[in-house]
Each structure stands twice: as C-alpha cells, then as structure tokens.
Amino acid sequence: AGNADAGKAKSAVCAACHGAEGISAMDIYPNLAGQKEAYLASQLQHFRDGQRDNPIMAPMAKPLSDADIADLAAYYASL
C-alpha cells in the first residue's frame, strides 16, 4: 500500500478540484475522502493509461508514477 503522508505532500493539485480535505466544492467533482484505496488507485491508473477517458483527469494522471498513485490513494482513503 502507499504512504498517506507522502500522498498528502503530492495532493496539492488534486485539492484544487477535490477539496483540501477530499470533499469537493463542485457537485460534478467526486469526493475522494474515505473512498476505497484500491478503487482510487485503479481509477488513477485507468486515467493514466486512458482506459478511463476523462479530458480533465488524463493530464493530471499522466505524470504520476506507480508510487505516486499508491501514495495518493492511501492519503485520500485515510481521510
């Protein structure tokens, strides 16, 4: 599993849409706080590899390493 603290450090850009505590301010952007860790990781991988097609999330996920994804998933699942 990832490291939640490391994930928090990498989450600044995510917070812009998903909220500082993982509760988004926009009804169309999902809350991430307390979401399932494996689900979060799988969705980030799918955004990265294009299996899940989303014009906003694709460029966000593209630069992420597997470790980044694991850490971010651990962080948001921990909220």
What residue ranges bind a copy of itself (CB under 8 A)? 24, 26-31, 34-39, 42, 51-53
Rounded least distance, CB 50 to a copy of itself, Å: 11
For residues 11 and 32, the answer to whether their CB atoms sit within 8 Å is: no
> Which residues touch 19 (CB under 8 Å, ≥6 apart)?
25, 31, 33
Q: What is the DSSP letter of 10?
A: T
Complex with a copy of itself: residue 3 or 35, whichever CB lies closer = 35
Rounded least distance, CB 32 to a copy of itself, Å: 10
Complex with a copy of itself: residue 36 or 62, whichever CB lies closer = 36
Task: Give the three-class secondary structure for 66.
Answer: helix
